Amino acid sequence: MAACHLRSISLPSRTHPLTATTEEQLHKLEASQSLSMSHKLSGLKNLFVDDLLQLPMAQHTFSHERQGQCVENAMSGSLEILDSCDSARDFSSQMKGCAQELKLLE
């Protein structure tokens, strides 16, 4: 009889505390007819900046994006160094050629 391996996905049993607060604030903004559109947009911006960006998943995502950006910057810098080395090698080769021509003219 073949062994069967089963995996279960463990999902959180309850939501993050900020999620409930965020949903509550969204409902308040949505239901409020007395607020102007600019006040609603301002409230939405504050909600996004103050609450949503503080969620662990958002922080985790930003961390990975920053790491990816650092790797990309390092690779770009490495390519620039390789290009500089290639240019220096070409220049050195040209200088050798010039030096050899000068020796032949003597």
Q: Look at residue 4 and tell me if it is in a domain.
A: no
Q: Look at residue 18 and tell me if it is in a domain.
A: no
What is the pLDDT at residue 46? 73
Gap between the Cα atoms of 84 and 77, Å rounded: 11
Query: Domain count of the chain?
Result: 1
* Ramachandran assignment for 32, one of left (phi > 0), alpha (psi -120 to 50 degrees), beta (any other): beta
Q: Look at residue 32 and tell me if it is in a domain.
A: no
Domain that holds residue 71: 44-105
**pTM of the model as a whole:** 0.41
49 near 22, Cβ under 8 Å? no
Q: Look at residue 86 and tell me if it is in a domain.
A: yes
Length of the chain: 106
Gap between the Cα atoms of 100 and 106, Å rounded: 10
List per-residue pLDDT tens for the chain, 106 residues long: 456 656 666 656 666 677 777 778 778 877 877 777 777 777 777 777 676 677 777 777 778 777 778 778 888 888 888 888 888 888 888 998 999 888 888 7
What is the pLDDT at residue 79? 82
Which residue from 71, 18, 67, 75 is spatially nearest to 47, judged by alpha carbons? 18
